[in-house]
Amino acid sequence: GPPRPADGLVLQVPARALLEGDTVRLRCRRLRDMWVDGVRFYRGEEDVGGPARGTELALPPLQLHHGGSYSCGGWVSSGWSPWAKSAPVTVTVHGEHPHIRH
C-alpha cells in the first residue's frame, strides 16, 4: 500500500513559479530529516536524475518545457514500505521579460 505520511518524503522547490534560465535546486527530505538514500527526481513519469549521494539535485538552466509536476522518491530506513515517494509539486516556468527583473 501507499506509505504512511510519517514515512513519506517531501519535495522542496525554492519557488513554484520560475523564470526561464533560472538554475534551481530540488531537495527531497523526510520529516524530521530522517535518513533517505538513492533519491531520484521525476517530472511526471520521467526520471530526471538523482544525486550520487545526498538529497539535492541541481537542474540545468530552466527552459519553458521544464514546467510540470515534479516529485521525488527514495529508500527510507524505517517503516513497512521501504520505498517512498513524495506528493507532486507543480512548477511553472515563465519566459523571461527583458525589461522586468524580479
Distance CA 56, CA 50 (A): 8
Beta strands in the chain (DSSP E): 9-12, 17-19, 25-30, 36-43, 46-49, 56-58, 68-76, 83-85, 89-94
List per-block mean pLDDT (blocks of 10 residues) for the chain, which spans 102 residues: 64 91 92 83 94 89 94 81 88 78 56
Predicted pLDDT of residue 53: 82
Distance CA 13, CA 98 (A): 24
Q: Which fold has domain 9-84?
A: Immunoglobulin-like (2.60.40)
Predicted TM-score (pTM) of the model is 0.80
